[in-house]
Amino acid sequence: MFVSKSEQLMFQPFTALIDSLAPKFNEKKEKHLPCANQLNLFISATNLNNKPLQFIRQDESLPFKNLGYEQRIYLHGLIATRDHNWHDFFNALAWLSFPKIKTTLNAIHYKEQSQQKSSLRSVRRDLLTLFDECGVIIQADDYIHQLIKEHRWHELFITHKTSWGNGDIEVTTFGHAMYEKYMFPYIGMTAKALLLPKINDACDDFISSKVVIDELLVNKGELFPLPVLGIPGWYKNQDEKFYANQKYFRS
């Protein structure tokens, strides 16, 4: 399935789902991606409006055309999904892997849309969208968090190289747009890091419970830029010259 170690690391925690849903994933051809009906075999969650969730093909026959994407999900449980589309495929995997976070974000989007007086997104909705598209979750202690906040990349990626992935620093990509970028990684690729204490496998429960009571993802100062290709093992040729590139690893 995954042709390199870096891909195995970058696409966690989706690897098992990809094996089931897109066995020819390594060919990187959109025609091999599952359609909405195939995705529905793997979903069993309900949203915060008590509506069973299901993927529905986004085409001319899409029901409730008067409703926006988030409204359609909250009111009817319908997640519009384009066939053979990398972005929507990874979004579907996020719904399957993090149903509590996704349903919580959707409920807040719906609430904020219902209250807004213009077509402009609220600050909260902008933040939630940024996390939904580009967010990565970093579980580590306060010292590691500080290295990220202060852009001390040499210490983070080189001095603490052996801390990544062994329980000291755990990284989980949440944003589905990042997975699409991982298909064809490029220098400059940067995610938005949400810094959390070590919560192990409970991030879906932990994040959703904090977001719904407005204790997490309330202001943009909670997300920090992270040059993800610097994560040990995530990119080829991680030598001194690579990490010396200050256009990517900005001070």
pLDDT of the residue at 126: 94
If DSSP codes are grouped into helix, strand and coil, which group holds residue 248?
A: coil
Helix (H) or strand (E) segment spanning residue 224:
strand 223-226
CA dihedral 246, 176, 127, 53 (to 10 degrees): -170
Residue 60 forms beta bridges with which residues? none
Is the pLDDT assigned to residue 96 strictly greater than 70?
yes
Note the pLDDT of residue 167: 86
pLDDT tens, position by position, 166-202 = 889 999 999 999 999 999 999 999 999 999 999 876 8
User: Average per-residue pLDDT in the chain?
Assistant: 94
| Parallel/antiparallel/unpaired status of strands 191-196 and 170-173 | unpaired
CB 155 within 8 A of CB 147: yes
Per-residue confidence (pLDDT) for residue 222, from 0 to 100: 97
Residue 1 reports pLDDT greater than 70: no
- Full DSSP string of 96-126: HH-HHHHHHHHHHHHHHHHH-SSSSPPHHHH
Residue 65 pLDDT class (50, 70, 90 cuts): confident
* Cα angle for residues 222, 224, 229 (degrees, 5° grid): 150
Q: Does residue 124 contact residue 220 with C-beta atoms inside 8 Å?
A: no
**Which strand (E) or helix (H) includes residue 137?**
strand 135-139
Using a pLDDT cut of 90, give the percent of the chain over it. Answer: 81
Q: Is the pLDDT of residue 60 over 90?
A: no
103-158 pLDDT, tens digit per residue, is 999 999 999 998 877 777 788 999 999 999 999 999 999 999 999 999 999 999 99
Average pLDDT of span 202-227 = 95
CA angle 190, 193, 194 (to 5 degrees): 165
